[in-house]
């Protein structure tokens, strides 16, 4: 494997993704990520200097919606997805900037 | 001699667009609904939901871009900005990093020092986040997603401003352009326009920029001016004492006139942007662009020129009236009815401004109809009511948009034009005030004022002062 992922990198990616990994999982993730990067390196061997960057997989553009209110009050159903709710709101652990 | 410093300022301005629905779903954007009553699976980030772009958002963004001399990116797309925070249900905000819809624009500002061009680096479209309310009782936070997905444009300036005065002139220019386009009401105090200030200082003559900080939570022009002054001082103090300015985001507390560094969320700056695969590219054809260009309304600078030509009112009045799109609309509609620009301007400039100030309101909050103001002007022009009654009636129009004709009729405020009745009242007043009459006849012509006042009082204000004067003079000169 050409790409070696350091412990620091895997820790950092874990923090960004809000994942807590066991030592075994970390080792596995380092290996997986390394082989993914190897694959990207392989792709990078292709000369793409004359290829337009692709911004979407489908050859579709300009999918729009008119500015008309269609949705009504569906709070009861929406809040069914809340692990906890209070006063018509999603209740979450206290979060202050 | 102490060193001279220059302040370098760039602005990030968020503007909430005046669409009826959110940017990626058909939920209402109406302000003030009960929590989560304007939500759906899309704007609450439910798995499997699919965003569909609101065409009006693109049109507003293009209109603002054209009015600020930007180049429109005819092939643009959306990207995901990844971060975790409970007000952001998808764990990413849909925004534009790589191909923002507008680039390389500028607006011209005017300050005491003259005219200056401020560069606009880019304008991009994005979605707003939800609102967090902190519940101290249960020691938790409550999330309301009504605002989640409300469309925003972010206007990023070049670091071209050098003072609070320039910053405010720039913001005011943007506000007027966007209000005239009808793309937003741009109210700083209500959050439909928000400005983050990026500021650094450097020695006069230096070519490199200093380290900048970003200031948030600025809710008024005054707060912006105070925050700029305080941050300039803070950075100069650091440099003078040999310390370093740290690049960070600070939050302004306007009551304490002090800012503090916001706790940097762990690695919060690593947003890992990538193209949003749920949204297809937006391709803006020349024809679409031309169509929007042809529909651009008259902007303020053009309006000012036209007013000077068409209405012949003073330049100062023009600048005040056109300083609010809403006020300019009222002016034009009223003039269209009564064809008396000078009188309309006068009512707006004097009484309207006085009442706005008294009630701490913006011109945008005016609710009276042009038709009622036109009727009032007709009543005064035909001398059906005198000027002090007119002021009283106007206060009612301003407060409750009453119909002045009906109001004057009901309250019996019409000027008494019955000369006989007026003459007999005056005769009574003359008889009751021999001293004033004698003073007048002895050459103290000013004494007539007292007699006019007494007559007006007796007539309960419903007389034409010109007519009183005329009859009184006649009697006194006998």
The CA distance from A55 to A52, in Å, is 9
Answer yes or no: do B26 and A57 touch at CB < 8 A: no
Show the tokens assigned to B453. 């006042």
Sequence-separated (6 or more) residues with CB below 8 Å from residue A50 = none
Can you tell me the ipTM of this complex?
0.89
Residue found by looking up tokens 């009654």 in the block: B389
Per-residue pLDDT of B243-285, as tens digits, reads 999 998 999 999 999 999 886 544 456 889 999 999 999 999 9
Domain ranges of chain B: 5-288, 298-411, 419-476
Contact of B39 with B148, CB cutoff 8 Å: yes
> Rounded CA gap, B80 and B95, in Å?
6
In 3D space, the residue among B342, B300, B296 whose CA is nearest the CA of residue B319 turns out to be: B300
Question: Would you state the pLDDT for residue B67?
Answer: 97
So what's the pLDDT on residue B264?
A: 59
pLDDT in tens, B181-195: 999 999 888 889 999
> Higher confidence at residue A32 or residue B475?
A32
Residues of A in contact with B140 (CB under 8 A): 86, 91-94
Interchain CB distance below 8 Å, A90 and B145: yes
The answer to whether residues B149 and B187 touch, using CB atoms and an 8 Å cutoff, is no
In tens, the pLDDT along A19-41 reads 999 999 999 999 999 999 999 99
Nearest-angstrom CA–CA distance, B298 and B300: 7
Which residue is listed with tokens 């940097």? B264
pLDDT of residue B135: 87
Q: Do A81 and B46 touch (CB under 8 A)?
A: yes
What mean pLDDT is predicted for residues B290-300?
A: 96
Res A18: pLDDT: 87
Q: How far apart are CA A25 and CA A35, in angstroms?
A: 15
Fold of B419-476: Arc Repressor Mutant, subunit A (1.10.10)
Q: Is residue B459's pLDDT more than 90?
A: no
Tell me: the pLDDT tens digits for B75-133?
A: 999 999 998 899 999 999 999 999 999 999 999 999 999 999 999 999 999 999 999 99
8 Å CB contact of A65 and B54: yes
Give the pLDDT band of residue B199 (cuts 50, 70, 90).
very high
Structural domains present in chain A? 7-44 (1.10.20)
**pLDDT above 70 covers what percent of chain B?**
98
Interchain pair B55, A86: CB under 8 A: no
**Which residues on chain B are in Cβ contact (under 8 Å) with A57?**
277
Q: What is the CA radius of gyration of chain A?
A: 22
Task: Provide the mean pLDDT of chain B.
Answer: 92
Using alpha carbons, select from B416, B443, B435 the residue that is nearest to residue B451.
Answer: B435
User: Quick one: pLDDT band at residue B414, thresholds 50, 70, 90?
Assistant: confident
As beta bridge partners, residue B259 has B252
Contact B183, B297 (CB under 8 A): no
Helix, strand, coil % in chain A, rounded to nearest 5: 40, 10, 55
Å between A59 CA and nearest CA of chain B:
9
β-strand A64-65 against B53-54: which pairing, if any? parallel
pLDDT for the residue B266: 46
A68 interface with B at CB cutoff 8 Å: yes
User: In the prediction, which pLDDT does B409 show?
Assistant: 86
Return the structure tokens found at B65.
């871009």
Spell out which residues of chain A touch residue B280, defining contact as CB-CB under 8 Å.
56, 58, 60-63
Asked if residue B246 lies in contact with residue B235, where contact means CB atoms within 8 angstroms, the answer is: no
Using CA atoms, how far residue B137 sits from B142, B143, B425, in Å, is 12, 15, 71
Structure tokens at B185: 């009401």
- In percent, the amount of chain B with pLDDT more than 90 equals 73
CB spacing of B86 vs A57 below 8 angstroms? no
Which of B141, B249, B266 to probe the A interface (max A CBs under 10 A)?
B141
In whole angstroms, give the CA distance from residue B73 to residue B123: 10
- Sign (positive or negative) of CA dihedral B221, B223, B225, B231: negative
In this structure, which long-range contacts are made by residues B277-280, counting pairs with CB atoms below 8 Å and at least 24 apart in sequence? B277/A56, B277/A57, B278/B50, B278/B51, B279/A63, B279/B24, B279/B51, B279/B53, B279/B77, B279/B78, B279/B94, B280/A56, B280/A58, B280/A60, B280/A61, B280/A62, B280/A63
Least confident of A1-10, B260-269, B297-306: B260-269
- Cβ distance A78 to B282 less than 8 Å, yes or no, reads no
Query: Do B36 and A88 contact (CB within 8 A), yes or no?
Result: yes
Q: Does A20 touch chain B (CB under 8 A)?
A: no
Mutate to test the interface with B, among A9, A57, A64, A66 (most CBs of B within 10 A): A64
Residue owning tokens 């916001």 = B262
The C-alpha of B150 sits at a distance from chain A's nearest C-alpha, in angstroms, of 12
Q: Supply the pLDDT for residue B339.
A: 93
- pTM for this prediction: 0.84
Q: Which range is least confidently modeled, A30-39, B230-239, B460-469? A: B460-469
Average pLDDT over residues B164-177: 96
Main-chain dihedrals φ then ψ at residue A40, nearest 5 degrees: -60, -40
- Give the distance between the most distant pair of CA atoms in chain B: 96
Are A55 and B272 within 8 A, CB to CB? no
Task: Tell me how far apart the alpha carbons of residues B42 and B49 are, in angstroms, rounded to a whole number.
Answer: 5
Chosen for mutation from B17, B18, B32, B35 (greatest number of chain A CBs closer than 10 Å) is: B35
pLDDT of B150? 97
How much is the mean pLDDT over chain A?
Answer: 91
Answer yes or no: are the C-beta atoms of B105 and B123 closer than 8 Å: yes
| A68·B26 Cβ contact <8 A | yes
> Residue A18's closest chain B neighbor by CA?
B84
Q: Is the pLDDT higher at B20 or at B217?
A: B20
Query: What does the pLDDT read at residue A97?
Result: 60
Greater pLDDT, B24 or B138: B24
Chain B: residue whose CA lies nearest to A84: B142
pLDDT of residue B237: 95
Residue B476 has pLDDT above 90, yes or no: no
Residue B420 has pLDDT above 80, yes or no: no
CA distances for B277 relative to B64, B77, B366, angstroms: 27, 10, 45
**Six-digit token pair at B38?**
């304007």
Residues A94 and B70: their CA atoms lie apart, in Å, by 42
């Amino acid at each position: 494997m050409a790409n070696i992922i350091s412990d620091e990198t895997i820790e950092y990616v874990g923090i960004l993704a809000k994942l807590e990994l066991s030592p075994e999982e970390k080792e596995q993730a380092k290996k997986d990520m390394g082989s993914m990067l190897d694959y990207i390196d392989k792709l990078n061997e292709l000369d793409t200097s004359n290829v337009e960057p692709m911004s979407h997989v489908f050859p579709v553009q300009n999918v729009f919606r008119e500015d008309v209110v269609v949705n009504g009050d569906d709070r009861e159903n929406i809040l069914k997805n809340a692990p906890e709710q209070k006063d018509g709101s999603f209740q979450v652990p206290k979060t202050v900037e | 001699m102490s060193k001279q410093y220059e302040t370098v300022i760039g602005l990030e301005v968020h503007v909430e667009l005046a669409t009826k629905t959110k940017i990626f779903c058909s939920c209402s954007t109406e302000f003030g609904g009960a929590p989560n009553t304007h939500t759906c699976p899309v704007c609450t980030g439910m798995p499997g939901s699919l965003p569909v772009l609101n065409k009006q958002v693109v049109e507003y963004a293009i209109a603002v871009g054209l009015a600020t001399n930007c180049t429109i990116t005819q092939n643009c797309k959306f990207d995901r900005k990844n971060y975790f925070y409970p007000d952001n249900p998808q764990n990413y905000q849909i925004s534009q990093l790589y191909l923002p819809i507008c680039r390389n624009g500028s607006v011209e500002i005017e300050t005491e020092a003259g005219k200056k061009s401020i560069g606009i680096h880019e304008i991009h479209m994005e979605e707003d986040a939800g609102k967090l309310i902190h519940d101290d009782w249960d020691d938790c936070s409550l999330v309301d997603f009504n605002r989640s997905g409300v469309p925003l444009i972010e206007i990023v300036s070049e670091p071209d401003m050098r003072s609070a005065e320039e910053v405010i002139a720039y913001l005011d220019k943007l506000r007027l352009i966007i209000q005239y386009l009808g793309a937003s009401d741009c109210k700083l105090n209500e959050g439909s326009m928000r400005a983050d200030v990026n500021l650094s200082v450097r020695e006069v003559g230096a070519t490199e920029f200093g380290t900048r900080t970003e200031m948030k939570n600025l809710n008024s022009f005054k707060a912006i001016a105070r925050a700029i002054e305080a941050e300039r001082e803070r950075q100069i103090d650091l440099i003078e004492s040999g310390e370093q300015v740290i690049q960070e985001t600070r939050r302004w507390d306007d009551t304490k006139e002090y800012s503090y560094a916001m706790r940097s969320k762990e690695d919060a700056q690593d947003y890992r942007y990538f193209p949003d695969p749920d949204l297809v590219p937006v391709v803006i054809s020349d024809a679409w662009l031309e169509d929007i260009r042809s529909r651009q309304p008259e902007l303020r600078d053009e309006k000012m020129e036209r007013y000077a030509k068409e209405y012949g009112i003073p330049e100062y009045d023009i600048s005040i009236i056109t300083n609010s799109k809403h006020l300019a609309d009222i002016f034009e509609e009223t003039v269209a009815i009564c064809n008396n620009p000078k009188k309309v301007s006068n009512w707006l400039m004097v009484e309207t401004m006085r009442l706005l100030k008294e009630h701490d309101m913006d011109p945008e909050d005016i609710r009276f109809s042009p038709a009622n103001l036109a009727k009032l002007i007709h009543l005064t022009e035909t001398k059906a009511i005198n000027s002090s009654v007119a002021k009283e009636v106007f206060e009612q129009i301003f407060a409750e948009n009453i119909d002045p004709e009906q109001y004057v009729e009901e309250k019996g405020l019409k000027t008494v034009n019955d000369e006989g009745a007026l003459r007999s009242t005056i005769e009574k007043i003359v008889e009751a005030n021999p001293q004033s009459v004698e003073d007048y006849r002895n050459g103290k012509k000013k004494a007539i004022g007292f007699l006019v006042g007494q007559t007006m009082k007796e007539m309960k204000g419903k007389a034409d002062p010109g007519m009183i004067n005329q009859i009184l003079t006649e009697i006194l000169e006998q």
